């Protein structure tokens, strides 16, 4: 960021991870550099007193958590008791801790967190944590665990915490990276995720390019088969960057003159466009608004998460297909 400042660069694009975005946003305020991130969903960046020039394409953690909250309330009303008594587990990592604390902090009073456990990244012994969860009596387990999810889930299975009497949620990153091979014991696991619409102006050509890519050069294409959230948000980030540059070019401001971070931020936040993911629109804080999310369930036969619920703040919970649970029934 200091190099950008010395080079008179006042817009930086990237900062997907919180451990880079947090210092980047802090320094950007001091050196007058706007930041645009493809990810960085942490609620931390909604604080414009601290991060005045930070904008991001990802849905905030608050929108993800509200999706889970509203689904639990919906399930409690329609499927019976047990849905609002939950256990929360999280790896000690910025995003997972933000998800966990946000879940607890903004939960309506009818949703009770009976157990909250945290453990270090790379931990392999979860005996104490799982015993606490089991003792709590919670039947819904919200596991904000990414790369270690297979180990954590296998240990939970040994404790009798996996089965038709339990419902599991995982974070979006786990749904993308922790299911390289089919996991029959995780059937029916749920994820609340940024919803990819069935069609978009760029989807067909991007998906075709993804599926025809050489896996030797682009190995992740062979893993997923179709583009994931880790690809279409960066696509939209580049789209917004190009649109902002075009707007300033049409204002004849790209002639070498100084462009303030505030002007970059205002230009970005004024953009409304059809993206690869969804319609792109920001609020005055640089947070993406009018976001559609979904709840998807894991199907080991296809080794994919299948959309079952559509959700928006305006439309609420909209079931579109039955969830196939652990018992292989709906």
Q: Can you tell me the distance from the alpha carbon of 6 to that of 301, in angstroms, rounded to the nearest whole number?
A: 54
Instruction: State the maximum Cα–Cα separation within the chain, in Å, rounded to a whole number.
Output: 66
The fraction of the chain above a pLDDT of 70, given in percent, is 99
Q: What pLDDT, on a 0 to 100 scale, did the predictor assign at position 20? A: 86
HSE toward the beta carbon, residue 6, CA cutoff 13 A: 3
Q: Which two tokens stand for residue 286?
A: 């640089």
Q: Can you tell me the distance from the alpha carbon of 305 to that of 310, in angstroms, rounded to the nearest whole number?
A: 14
Report how many helices (DSSP H) and strands (DSSP E) the chain contains, helices first. 11, 13
As a whole number, mean pLDDT of residues 148-170 equals: 96
Residue ranges with strand state E in 57-210: 85-91, 112-119, 140-144, 167-170, 190-194
Q: Can you tell me the distance from the alpha carbon of 135 to that of 273, in angstroms, rounded to the nearest whole number?
A: 49
The pTM of this model reads 0.88
The string of pLDDT tens digits covering residues 253-302 is: 999 999 999 999 999 999 999 998 889 999 999 999 999 999 999 999 99
Q: What pLDDT, on a 0 to 100 scale, did the predictor assign at position 140? A: 98
Q: Which two tokens stand for residue 242?
A: 């190009």
Residue 141: other Cβ atoms inside 10 A: 24
98 close to 44: Cβ distance less than 8 angstroms: yes
Q: Can you tell me the distance from the alpha carbon of 286 to that of 92, in angstroms, rounded to the nearest whole number?
A: 27
171 close to 144: Cβ distance less than 8 angstroms: yes
Residue ranges with strand state E in 92-223: 112-119, 140-144, 167-170, 190-194
Q: What pLDDT, on a 0 to 100 scale, did the predictor assign at position 16? A: 82
Q: What pLDDT, on a 0 to 100 scale, did the predictor assign at position 188? A: 97
pLDDT at 199 > cutoff 80: no
221 close to 215: Cβ distance less than 8 angstroms: yes
Confidence class for position 100, pLDDT limits 50, 70, 90: very high
pLDDT at 36 > cutoff 70: yes
289 close to 281: Cβ distance less than 8 angstroms: yes
As a whole number, mean pLDDT of residues 141-158 equals: 94
As a whole number, mean pLDDT of residues 27-53 equals: 95
> Which residues are within 8 A (CB) of 59 and not within 5 positions of it... i.e. 6 or more apart?
41, 194, 288, 291, 293
Which SS3 state, helix, strand or coil, does residue 282 take? Answer: strand
Residue 33: closest CA among 3, 51, 12, 56:
12
Confidence class for position 229, pLDDT limits 50, 70, 90: low
Q: Can you tell me the distance from the alpha carbon of 56 to that of 286, in angstroms, rounded to the nearest whole number?
A: 6
> Which residues are within 8 A (CB) of 215 and not within 5 positions of it... i.e. 6 or more apart?
221, 222
């Amino acid at each position: 960021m200091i190099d950008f400042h010395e080079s008179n660069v006042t817009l930086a694009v990237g900062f997907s991870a919180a451990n880079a975005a947090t210092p980047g946003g802090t320094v950007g305020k001091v050196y007058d550099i706007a930041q645009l991130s493809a990810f960085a969903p942490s609620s931390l960046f909604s604080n414009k007193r601290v991060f005045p020039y930070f904008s991001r394409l990802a849905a905030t953690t608050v929108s993800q958590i509200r999706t889970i909250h509203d689904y639990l309330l919906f399930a409690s009303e329609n499927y019976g008791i047990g849905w609002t008594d939950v256990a929360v587990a999280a790896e000690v990592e910025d995003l997972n801790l933000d998800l966990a604390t946000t879940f607890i902090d903004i939960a309506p009073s009818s949703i009770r967190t009976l157990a909250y456990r945290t453990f270090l990244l790379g931990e392999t012994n979860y005996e104490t944590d799982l015993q606490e969860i089991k003792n709590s009596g919670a039947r819904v387990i919200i596991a904000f665990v990414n790369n270690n999810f297979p180990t954590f889930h296998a240990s939970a299975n040994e404790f009798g915490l996996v089965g038709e009497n339990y419902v599991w949620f995982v974070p979006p990153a786990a749904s993308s990276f922790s299911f390289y091979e089919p996991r029959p014991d995780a059937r029916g696991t749920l994820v609340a995720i940024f919803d990819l619409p069935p069609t978009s102006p760029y989807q067909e050509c991007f998906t075709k390019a993804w599926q025809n890519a050489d896996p030797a050069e682009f190995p992740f294409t062979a893993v997923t088969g179709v583009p994931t959230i880790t690809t279409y948000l960066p696509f939209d980030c580049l789209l917004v960057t190009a649109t902002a540059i075009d707007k300033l070019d049409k204002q004849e401001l790209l002639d070498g003159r100084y462009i303030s971070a505030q002007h970059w931020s205002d230009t970005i936040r004024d953009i409304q466009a059809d993206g690869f993911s969804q319609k792109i629109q920001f609020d005055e804080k640089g947070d993406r608004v009018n976001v559609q999310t979904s709840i998807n369930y894991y199907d080991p036969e296809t080794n994919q998460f299948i959309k079952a619920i559509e959700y928006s703040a305006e439309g609420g919970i909209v079931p579109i297909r039955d969830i196939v649970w652990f018992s292989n029934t709906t």
